[in-house]
Amino acid sequence: MNHLRTRAVHAGQAPDPAHGAIATPIHQTTAFGYGTLEHGAAIFAGKAPGYRYSRFANPTVHALEAKMADLEGAPAALALSSGTAATSAIVLGLLKPGDDIVFLGPLYGGTENLFRSLAGRFGIRAIDASEQGLTASLTANTRMVWVEPLTNPSLHLHDLSQVAALCKARGIISVADSTFCTPCLTRPLEHGIDLVMHSMTKYLGGHGDATGGLVAGAAALVSAIRQTGLGQVGGNLAPQEAFLFLRGIKTLPLRMAAHCEGALAVARFLASHPAVSATHYPGLNEHPQHALAQRQMQGGYGGMVSFELSVGTRAQAAAVLDRLTLFTQAVSLGDVDSLACHPASTTHSFISPEARAKNGVGEGLIRLSVGIEHPNDLIADLAQALSCLLLSSG
């Protein structure tokens, strides 16, 4: 199976041998019988294949992990209960007190807050490389570098090949949160990154009805994260959610094509609107990193668009957001429904005002998750919402 569309449907799944069911069954059980004492001991020791307890592994979850490992080109993958659980498991599973984690911002607010607040309680120092650059931010204690290929919500790109090369030269683990891109647009491991993680809640699920996270990469790294994230912290994914993700991923390439088509049309409209001072979308020719996006992204530039209002106040952002009808005001992203949010008061409210300002998350910034509706209808909705600013300025 060479094509991603085919692999999204078939990888990790086959008709159930018991009854021939095409959809992978939901193995809704906590424990598994293992027959004899010796066989059970071998499973617990990792010397024999098999299942013992759903916190550690479950057949439905395993099918999802196999599918995502295939799509990311990874030797191993681990599914967890949320994207934040995946982030926490990576940090706690691979770092120890005295280690430094360097991140290239801006990041999703929850991730950055975890690094800045929680990691320190475990003796792990977080260093923001946004101002002085990655090379200058590395220390003798740096053990991990965290990057988003497409940042949230500024839609800035980081060159994954450069990050990976620098980390490999110094023996540092590199991690890419590729939630915005999915394997359809960017596969970080192909650029030399060690681990890729996703909030599966977003595009991978695609329907806004399941919460989950995923880590994929080298087997030894994933095994260490599994031991911490599942065995010690207990962030396991439930089989019902795994079933929903298996269902959602089958249509991922088709959905991503529609997201990308709609987002490009919306971005072009916003870029020419007099009430908008800046539009952030890597598919626009005027995006400062458009050339990098062309090299690093395949098949499209994503479904996320952010824009800044000419009068950048919270009141003006509220006036626009509150008039939208097709875009639902909500956090999260990647649903088939279009969503809109005000990052400064929602997703990035955990971050200090100074850090938000430094990363371009101002009061006039609006983030759109463009769904799969017809682009013309979405543009009409944005046009009527933005018209209130033109009327007020007139």
Residue 177: active-site member: yes
Residue 49 amino acid letter: P
Residue 96: active-site member: no
* Catalytic, out of 67, 187, 202, 226: 202
> Do the Cβ atoms of 369 and 304 come closer than 8 Å?
yes
Query: Which helix or strand (DSSP H or E) is residue 77 part of?
Result: strand 76-80
β-bridge mates for residue 142, sequence order: 100
* Catalytic, out of 177, 194, 335, 381: 177
Place of tokens 């683990």: 173
Residue 108: active-site member: yes
> Do the Cβ atoms of 293 and 282 come closer than 8 Å?
yes
Question: At residue 380, what are phi and psi to the nearest 5 degrees?
Answer: -60, -40
* 3-state percent helix, strand, coil for the chain, nearest multiple of 5: 40, 15, 45
At residue 175, the 3 state secondary structure works out as strand
Residue 301: active-site member: no
* Catalytic, out of 51, 108, 281, 301: 108
Place of tokens 């988003």: 148
> Do the Cβ atoms of 297 and 178 come closer than 8 Å?
no
* Catalytic, out of 55, 96, 170, 295: 55
Distances 18 to 24, 57, 76, 93, 382 between C-alpha atoms, Å: 11, 20, 26, 36, 51
Distances 162 to 71, 74, 387 between C-alpha atoms, Å: 23, 20, 43
> Do the Cβ atoms of 172 and 138 come closer than 8 Å?
yes
For the chain, how big is the Rg over CA atoms in Å? 22
> Do the Cβ atoms of 95 and 125 come closer than 8 Å?
no
**Positions marked catalytic:** 55, 108, 177, 202
